[in-house]
């Protein structure tokens, strides 16, 4: 992934370059469009000035399963939304009030947008900042109902409250660029997977079941191993993704073949339960087994996890659940009301932790694990680098179950046709 030249006018000010990004058009369709060059203001909030912000040249920006929910039409995302909340870049312009971040810094951007000033931010609940979304706590880049902030699947992007939000890479530029595919996972999926593992209580010697072998599930399985789990078992219906999980030491259960998860756990562990479980699937969960039960069953993962987790165990739930799902299989699910067996969880004294990962809680230590070769997260999630203009094809392949984590390189030089 190369870093092209930065062009500035002789007297400073905005960068004299064009912007281009990935835009949601309608269910099943995204396009790559020319965009306005970003300004340090939020036009969706009456031109609110962002003197505390910076403009980044985006070096890597990833396609996320959460983006895919929007592209499938499973949210109320509006046409014209620039997508993307996983951003790694170089600082090229500074707002007047930025003190500690400098031009040329290479940085990771937590997908949570946080002010650093409100009660929740001060308590490190940065996923539910009170000041960055007029409608409810919490905001993110390029996501429906998350504050109107422009997405980062683009050549350039704005980050507000830069001194608070940005994680500066301490290594030299050559080291950062050599590890950029790994470091690109710090904006979301690696901390999110780690959050799922931590909230599930994973520790040395734990047995863990991870529901879902998509990028977040594979990142969670990686985190479980990093935390010292004895056995990590990943369940999915996608054989290629299960192959990926086995490739770095996980046990697997093919849910397209086996509906009885406790029986499979018993074969692996000698008991039909685990110490901890993590839901990395979310609201588009499907039924298990070869008997035609593979239709959508939004509560099936949560109910299964309560069933297979030991009494007094913990469940991490970083998988996305929404309050509005126009494509849901029933009227209750359309408003996020699911048929949970909460009585089972209560009877077993289990702890369930939900919500966005507060990325800032974890990203610095995970960065150090990457820089010092303690983990190879890009390899484990099969990071696949493509030019920005190939994003529509990548979205289509991801929707079909590609066993890849697509990383967009917005400044890649297009290949010369033969």
Model confidence at 37: pLDDT above 90:
yes
Percent with pLDDT over 90 in the chain = 80
Q: How confident is the model at residue 412 (pLDDT cuts 50, 70, 90)?
A: confident
Domain locations in the chain as residue ranges: 19-187+378-409, 189-354
Residue pair 326/74 in contact (Cβ under 8 Å)? The answer is yes
Half-sphere exposure of 150 (CA within 13 A, CB side): 25
Q: What's residue 231's pLDDT?
A: 98
Q: Is 66 helix (H, G, I), strand (E, B) or coil?
A: helix
- The CA distance from 244 to 412, in Å, is 27
Model confidence at 312: pLDDT above 90:
yes
Contacting residues for 334 by C-beta, under 8 A, at least 6 apart: 324, 325, 326, 328
Q: How confident is the model at residue 16 (pLDDT cuts 50, 70, 90)?
A: low
pLDDT 10s digits, 168-212: 999 899 999 999 999 999 999 999 999 999 999 999 999 999 999
Tokens of 47: 């031109």
Q: Which residues pair with 234 in a beta bridge?
A: 210, 252
- pTM greater than the 0.75 cutoff: yes
Q: How confident is the model at residue 45 (pLDDT cuts 50, 70, 90)?
A: low
b/e burial code for range 69-78 (CB count within 10 A of at least 16 → b): bbbebbbebe
Q: How confident is the model at residue 115 (pLDDT cuts 50, 70, 90)?
A: very high
Residue pair 52/93 in contact (Cβ under 8 Å)? The answer is no
Within 10 Å of residue 176's Cβ, how many Cβ atoms?
19
Q: What's residue 223's pLDDT?
A: 98
Q: How confident is the model at residue 328 (pLDDT cuts 50, 70, 90)?
A: confident
- Residue closest to 301 by CA, chosen among 397, 400, 217, 202: 217
pLDDT 10s digits, 232-241: 999 999 999 9
pLDDT 10s digits, 151-172: 999 999 999 999 999 999 998 9
Domain 19-187+378-409 has CATH 3.90.180.10: yes
Q: How confident is the model at residue 49 (pLDDT cuts 50, 70, 90)?
A: confident
For 189-354, CATH gives 3.40.50.720
Q: What's residue 193's pLDDT?
A: 98
Model confidence at 47: pLDDT above 80:
no
Residue pair 112/159 in contact (Cβ under 8 Å)? The answer is no
pLDDT 10s digits, 55-74: 999 999 999 998 998 998 88
**Section 344-355 average pLDDT:** 97
């Amino acid at each position: 992934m190369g870093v092209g030249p930065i062009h500035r006018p002789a007297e400073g000010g905005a960068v004299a370059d064009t912007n281009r990004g990935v835009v949601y058009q309608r269910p099943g369709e995204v396009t790559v469009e020319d965009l306005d060059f970003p300004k340090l203001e939020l036009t969706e909030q009456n031109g609110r000035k962002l003197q505390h912000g910076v403009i980044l040249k985006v070096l890597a920006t990833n396609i996320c399963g959460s983006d895919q929910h929007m592209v499938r039409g499973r949210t109320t995302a509006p046409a014209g939304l620039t997508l993307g909340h996983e951003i790694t870049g170089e600082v090229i312009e500074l707002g007047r009030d930025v003190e500690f971040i400098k031009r040329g810094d290479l940085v990771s951007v937590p997908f949570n947008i946080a002010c650093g000033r409100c009660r929740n931010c001060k308590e490190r609940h940065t996923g539910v900042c009170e000041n960055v979304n007029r409608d409810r706590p919490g905001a993110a880049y390029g996501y429906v109902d998350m504050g109107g902030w422009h997405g980062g699947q683009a050549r350039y992007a704005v980050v507000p409250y830069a001194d608070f939000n940005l994680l500066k890479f301490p290594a030299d530029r050559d080291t950062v660029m050599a590890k950029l595919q790994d470091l690109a996972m710090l904006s979301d999926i690696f901390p999110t997977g780690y959050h799922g593992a931590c909230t599930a209580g994973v520790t040395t010697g734990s047995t863990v079941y991870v529901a879902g072998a998509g990028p977040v599930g594979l990142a969670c399985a990686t985190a479980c191993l990093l935390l010292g789990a004895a056995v990590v078992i990943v369940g999915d219906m996608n054989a290629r993704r299960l192959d990926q999980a086995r490739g770095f030491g996980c046990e697997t259960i093919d849910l397209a073949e086996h509906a009885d998860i406790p029986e499979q756990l018993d074969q692996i562990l000698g008991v039909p339960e685990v110490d901890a479980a993590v839901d990395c699937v979310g609201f588009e969960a499907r039924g298990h087994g070869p008997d035609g039960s593979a239709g959508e069953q939004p509560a099936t993962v949560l109910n299964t996890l309560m069933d297979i987790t030991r009494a007094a165990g913990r469940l991490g739930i970083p998988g996305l659940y929404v309050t509005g799902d126009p494509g849901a299989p029933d009227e209750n699910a359309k408003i996020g009301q699911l048929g949970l067996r909460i009585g089972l969880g209560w009877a077993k004294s289990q702890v369930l932790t939900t919500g966005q990962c507060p990325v800032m809680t974890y990203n610095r230590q995970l960065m150090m694990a990457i820089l010092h070769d303690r983990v190879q997260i890009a390899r484990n999630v099969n990071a696949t680098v493509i030019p920005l203009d190939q994003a529509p094809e990548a979205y289509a392949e991801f929707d079909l179950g590609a066993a890849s984590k697509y990383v967009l390189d917005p400044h890649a030089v297009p290949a010369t046709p033969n």
